[in-house]
Amino acid sequence: MRFYLIGYMGCGKSTIGSLLSEINGIPFIDTDEVIELAAGLTIPGYFEKYGEEEFRIKEGEVLRSTLLHQKAIVATGGGMPCFYDYMSWMNQHGETIYLQLTAEQLFHRLKQETSKRPMLKGLEEKELLVHIAKQLEEREKYYLQATRIIQCAESTPHQIAAAILSR
């Protein structure tokens, strides 16, 4: 079984994914890391050089390559489920798990990382919460198509992993 972890940036997809991989011995694939390694660029560098459209196409290539694994834990980019038919594709080829947090919770996690996140680059702290809330509202219609939704606010990574594995 393939598990696709989805949600807004900063929700814990990479942390939970690597933990699940460690617990189960199932390969972990972080789509952003795969793109960075293949391109020899960071995600912000990729955005800068090729633009968002090319990045989203590359995400799709990496996503389809997960079919090479019968079992895998896949951490997707925060925007991936919102483009093309990626959300539908993931639901057809595995179990999608939305790691849900509110805009305020995401703001507290992301406010020190704006320079590392291409979609947040250049935002002042006062603009950040508004940006996150607006983007989360736009994306949530895709995220809510997940086969499972896990509330992450009051949970540790181990508790979230246990909730995912309990099914």
Q: Give start and end residues of each alpha helix (H) in the chain.
A: 13-24, 31-39, 43-65, 86-93, 103-110, 125-143, 157-165
- Looking at residue 120, its pLDDT comes to 78
* Run of H or E including 30: strand 28-30
Residue 72 and residue 63 in contact, taking contact as beta carbons nearer than 8 Å: no
Q: For 69-81, write each residue's pLDDT tens digit.
A: 999 999 999 999 9
Q: Distance (Å, rounded) from C-alpha 55 to C-alpha 144?
A: 23
Q: What is the CATH number of domain 2-165?
A: 3.40.50.300
CA distance 75 to 64: 13
Tens digits of per-residue pLDDT, 75-122?
A: 999 999 999 999 999 999 999 999 999 999 999 999 877 767 767 777
Whether 80 and 31 have beta carbons less than 8 Å apart is answered as yes
Domain range summary for the chain, segments of one domain joined by +: 2-165
Rg over CA atoms, the chain: 15
For residue 90, what are its two tokens? Answer: 């993931």
pTM: 0.94
